[in-house]
Amino acid sequence: MDQPFPGLPPADGEPFNLGLALGLNQAFGVVAGRCSAAQAAAFCRIREEKLYKRYTSDWRQFCPRFLNLSASQVDRIIRVWKQYGPGIFELSQLTRISEPTWRELEPLVRDGALHFNGEAIELDPENAQKIAAAVAELRRDYMPAKEKPEPTVPEILAAIEKRGEALAAEFKELARRKFHGDDLTRLEQALHRTTHALQQIQTIYGLDPPQ
């Protein structure tokens, strides 16, 4: 590959070659989570060693101008690189994964392979379909389901009120049928027990309705 900046020393030119070679199309791939480990390492070196200052003093200007990515996008790539290393990028080249998914899969990725069902599947483009299927199965069968947050008190009360309205509507519908005999007795007893239970809660805990 030709040196994009002839005046740049070779030691500095290598990360620039990697970064600038992205172009617009490959920049789209980075946004889609398909940045390679080599590209992430190049971005990290460019920022950490401040190599961009040869061309502009502002990192936020350098990224869109020379890398075709926003500074926040590149910063995120660097953060992921520093936090997780090359493995997450090697796997994401073959199938889309999130950071939480990588944290679950990381122990299974060793020596350039995904270890699954007793098999070491090499992280190679030829195995992309197999890798994607293995990751999908791991997500489905082995990873803990995302826990739902505890409902708030207003949410709980809203749900109770909704069920109370539904219960009242059921009693009203039964009362309209004008039962006789044992059916009427059972309806009256059910309504009395329900009303009494609610009144006890109101009395015991001093939950008087507002005047």
pLDDT, position 3: 41
pLDDT tens digits for range 33-84: 467 888 888 888 888 888 888 888 899 998 888 888 889 988 999 999 999 9
Residues of the chain under the 70 pLDDT cut: 1-34, 142-148, 209-211
Q: C-alpha 14: how far from its chain's center?
A: 34
Of 120, 127, 116, residue with least CA distance to 94: 127
Strands (E), the chain: 109-110, 113-116, 119-122
Three-class SS of residue 113?
strand
Looking at the chain, the whole-number percentage of residues with pLDDT higher than 90 is 11
Cβ of 11: how many Cβ atoms within 10 Å? Answer: 9
pLDDT, position 189: 92
pLDDT, position 16: 55
Q: Which residue type is seen at 7?
A: G
pLDDT, position 193: 93
Q: Which residue type is seen at 176?
A: R
